Structure 1
């Protein structure tokens, strides 16, 4: 068994396709097939169920895949550690952000860090909160910015921002001139929520259930601006973080405080507890801790 066999096997599983894996690895498909077949013969098990059009892991394949991921992460850590010694203050930080939220928090921090460490590259990608946690846990990105709570056994957290959710309604809504409302007052309203991929969807629904009602959902969207447009068009109401209301300043919407209950929206920088942090990533986390004041 060698590292190439595990690398090829893991990529095939991720891509669920030999052809796509060969394109990603820049290795011929027959070479990949031969490597995986050799791994199966060495372990005396079948790792991939090839009987269907879509590849599936066997029970043994699932076990080997999980172990292979750990081995490959350990190997990556070795290379990263050596590279850090040879190229001090060089490196790359792979960071995942939730859409839009990062824009509120990071321009100043990123500019300051880049000025201090001009040779460290920061690669930014956007994911919904639930998928973002998975990417950090799997090691596909080094750190992420997401909403709490997260699994404290898996992740270290650095608090970034804490604010409350507020209600937004159209300017002609019967609640438009209210200074504050109780969540239970909204039980007959139509809600516009984020899709289930977003933690905000779960937060709002859970708060409504705790207030004694199941929210009537008129629409779901993954786009902040579309939610604001739908509220302004009198298609429903929505609950959003207070800092996001400024995005809708050009729309006929009103912001109303929730008096009972207050729903806290907490954002944090997260990274795996058991994952080696490269020099670049470690320096970025330290910089955020020193320069962010939640």
Structure 2
């Protein structure tokens, strides 16, 4: 039994005539008759009383007809829902953002997307970069806004923003008189880092090791604001993205790192070889086509 069997039965029952049903369905009368006989053989009952001029449903036929009408309506509802989803642009996107920085950069992006797709709902959750990778991998969120690098064999990534990492120090620190500094010059400095669940933690430590120094980490935090306030309070210095440093403008000195230059790269990631909903694909296309109100560029 398939949908076609039920459709033919319903049409014959409505018209009470094979000829009219065939005209309505644009199918030959023998084809309809053969299909219904096949259905009767499968169910082992007679569905149509063909003895009179008008074809009538038998008791079994009435039962099957009622169920067939419901099933065909459900199938029609499925088609209508999918059509609505695609053409009226509905759906939900589950997105993971890094605390503070993702929120700082993305409100204008999401606002622009919502104007174009008002019926797509975006649900956001905050997590550190490494935790976001896990959430995307395990399907807890569809998309993640995180820091590169990520595992290329597991994730597709769309670069969004590339910033330099800079040193921030309190205004009385010797670095306040410098515009540029090498990482090797920071060997004896007290360093405030982000905790290990942040990709930035690994980026900074790796850059220090490649410069031949072992960073003297005196404190770690998971909050950008606390890191900045600790620098202002002279607990030590920190290495942060320029956009974060600018949040403390006037309260800290910002010094560029010239040897080596260390970059911080923000990206949109999603799991490879995973089905993506219509809404999620539309958001990815929106980012790729450069429709955002935020100028994502190096």
Above 0.5 in TM-score? Answer: yes
**Displacement after TM superposition at 1:250 (Å):** 5.4
Partner of 2:287: 288
Partner of 1:259: 258
Partner of 2:15: none
After TM superposition, the structure 1 = structure 2 runs for residues 130-279 of structure 1, keeping only pairs within 5 Å, are 130-249=130-249, 251=251, 253-279=252-278
Q: Does the 8 A contact of 1:84 with 1:278 survive in 2?
A: no
C-alpha separation in 2, matches of 1:275 and 1:83: 22
Q: Secondary structure at the match of 1:111?
A: helix
Larger Rg: 1 or 2? 2
Partner of 1:87: 85
- CA pair 165-81 structure 1, distance change in 2 beyond 3 A: farther
**Displacement after TM superposition at 1:246 (Å):** 1.9
**Displacement after TM superposition at 1:166 (Å):** 0.2
**Displacement after TM superposition at 1:233 (Å):** 1.0
So what's the TM-score if we normalise by structure 1? 0.70
Partner of 1:123: 123
Question: Unaligned regions of 5+ residues in structure 2, if any?
Answer: 1-77
C-alpha separation in 1, matches of 2:254 and 2:183: 14
Calculate the aligned-residue CA RMSD, in Å.
1.7
Question: Unaligned regions of 5+ residues in structure 1, if any?
Answer: 1-79
C-alpha separation in 2, matches of 1:81 and 1:228: 54
Q: Deviations over 1:122-148 (max 9, x none)?
A: 001100000100000011100000000
Q: Does the 8 A contact of 1:84 with 1:90 survive in 2?
A: no
C-alpha separation in 2, matches of 1:193 and 1:100: 16
Q: Deviations over 1:145-187 (max 9, x none)?
A: 0000111111111110001100001100011110101000000
Q: Does the 8 A contact of 2:191 with 2:218 survive in 1?
A: yes
Q: Deviations over 1:160-217 (max 9, x none)?
A: 0001100001100011110101000000000000011111111111111111111111
C-alpha separation in 2, matches of 1:188 and 1:114: 49
Partner of 1:52: none
C-alpha separation in 1, matches of 2:81 and 2:136: 22
Q: How many residues align?
A: 214
**Displacement after TM superposition at 1:290 (Å):** 1.3
Q: Deviations over 1:81-134 (max 9, x none)?
A: 996445332110000011112133212211111011110000011000001000
C-alpha separation in 2, matches of 1:83 and 1:198: 41
Q: Secondary structure at the match of 1:176?
A: helix
So what's the TM-score if we normalise by structure 2? 0.69
C-alpha separation in 2, matches of 1:194 and 1:265: 14
